[in-house]
Structure 1
Amino acid sequence: MSTWAIFAPLFIINSHLRIQRLLRLSFVFITILGLNSLLITTTADNSSRTIVRAGTFGAAQEDDSSYGEAGRYAADGVTMAAVAFIFSRHILERILLMVNLAILGMMVQMSGARQAILGLMISCAYLFAAMSRLPGAILLIFKSVVALAVLGFCFVAIRGMVYEDDQLETQSQRLWSTFTDDGGGVLDRSHRSTLWAEGLDMWQKSPIIGNGLGALGWTHPHNFFVELLCDGGLIGFFIGTTVVAIPALLIVRGFLGGTGAYFMILSTFWLNHFAFSMVSGDVGQNRIVYTLSALIVSYCTDGLRRRNVNSPPDATRAALSSRSRSVPAAREFPSPRDARTEKANLSFKSHADKTL
């Protein structure tokens, strides 16, 4: 809910400058939340939150949900920083966004949160595909990837000099175990295929109307569609799939027709949460995200396009100017009524000439 509350003003503000300011404030807010969740922990008696996790920075611990939460916040921050970087016009601002992008990307990897890593992969693939359609974007993407690789190498080197126990191998095992039956000895029941099979077995007990809401619990299914089948049966599955399909189809349509900055921001966040719901146990919260996104994406697609603010002003202006130079003025065709009148006049004139 907090993510969508942050972006709700995007769809009622009609000023490009104000939206840019809102994006920067939101980016700072999510960065602070991510750092707070990753670096600071709560004491056993919940009396304070002043213990800095310097010694276990990035270590994925069992039954430690704060690392997964930090990974999600960091993944949201990465998508926001990436979109802001793409449409930024200031060199200094791009440099700061690049540094923040590298830091948040390392936070996602160090958190070991598989949901955040998978969501970030899908969002980055969408951003790459969307930006590759714009002129000159390939060179910008290449420079950005090189800069991120250099910054990431520096962060890894610094962390390797400070801490001896690198968690990279453990995190790779946890990521691989998401879709395999081999947990790698890292966490018990960390693979999703067994959990999905258990949910499908329960669905077969009542395939039409399901077993009731909450039959699988909050953390058991680790898949949005499996939970829909088990809890609501085929009826609930089709209803839930419709809610998911509405924003998905609009995102595809917007991508094919030319994606603007604001719509790209919404799309990356929706894809992030969609990836979370495929392997995450927090499916109850994702119901809220999908329901709101179906309404927000619909409003974003129709309303912003009608107000001509769906694309960046510079890109829109350049496209219109180039089109006006290359495309000749359209010929004005008469209306059907005028055409019939003209035809009747010509026929009358021809008949009069023959008579004379």
Structure 2
Amino acid sequence: MKSVSLIGNNIDVSEDIQYIGTFRLEGEKINVGLVEEENLILKSSSDPDNRVLVKKRGFSCNYRDKTLILNYDNQIKSLGDKGEYTFSYIGSEFVGEVIGIGKNITNLKIGDRVVANASYPSYSADYIAGLPSNHASRRIDDFKENKLIKIPNILSDEIASSFVIAAFTGYSMIRKVVKENAKVLVTAAKSNTSLAVINALRNFPVEVYAMTSSSKNNDMLYEQGVKQVFVIDHNLNDYLEDENIIKFIREKGFFDAVIDPLFDVHLGRVIKLMNYDAKYVTCGLYNQFSNFSETNFKEHGTLNEIIKLAMIKNISIIGNCIGLKEDFDLALHHFERGKFNILIDKIFSIGQEADFFDFTYNFKERLGKVVYLYEN
């Protein structure tokens, strides 16, 4: 069965590697293909009685996968230079169908549709925390039962392929900082994480504000319940140089909570917009691939300045990695009742692999998740 893979320069080395196309990432030329392998079977697993065999129906990539793509591609090309021809699967979210179960599996059956249980951190010796794989594009894969979540039919394949990070991470950050009647500022408002957070915040008694560097598609943010969108020039040394920010603070005061997916872009400047006893939470950083980047990245605000202001104003700075199963469950509960959704921009399928990656990472006007669906 064929799996979407990064193939380096291995275009004509094997009948099992079908070259599809090329896209560019941070100036690097990335070749993509479909790789034919023998189907994985449970008997080949290290613990076949306790594993679940899953056939992927779809997958998607996140910002963190960009670094992995660049590193995996570099490794594949280096091995190719030594005469070792290999490839790599890629992706962090998937939806799949159970096609085999070990004899000790109790809560899943053949035919169930599943997504990853990414719950983090772990408080159990037999549960490995976080995403179960960085190779979501692998068509046939096996997992421990506790790393999978059965999903209802109401979750389509395209939504399910994009649901896990938004549910775990988005709802975890909301849980950590949101209180009743808070003024909540969401930065990088058109990133996938922030779009999910803004959509989810409709279920909480708060006022939602958004920050973005683009003036396009802001009507959509207002439709999601955002009270005001701040279009910011990210070259500003201080967000208090923005007239709309100054006017807002004079009229309505500082923000009680900030949800920020990219702390190295915003924290040093957005902390100046926060109230006493406010809470700031972040789940990631922008500058993850400096070894490959063609542009110089500039951070704003020193650690000394940030911590000093946090101390003076009793601001809590909170790190967030993924979330708990209860966060996923609440997101699913809201989705089933039409109170939460994942915005999908575009869906790709067989023969469109290079376009899928190109659109995911290089299309600046993208608004929502990009999904790849296998033919089922």
TM-score by length of 2: 0.23
Highest relative contact order (Cα 8 Å, sep 6+), 1 or 2?
2
Q: Rg larger in 1 or in 2?
A: 1
Structure having the higher strand fraction is 2
Write 1 or 2 for the structure with the bigger share of helix. 1
TM-score, normalised by the number of residues in structure 1: 0.24
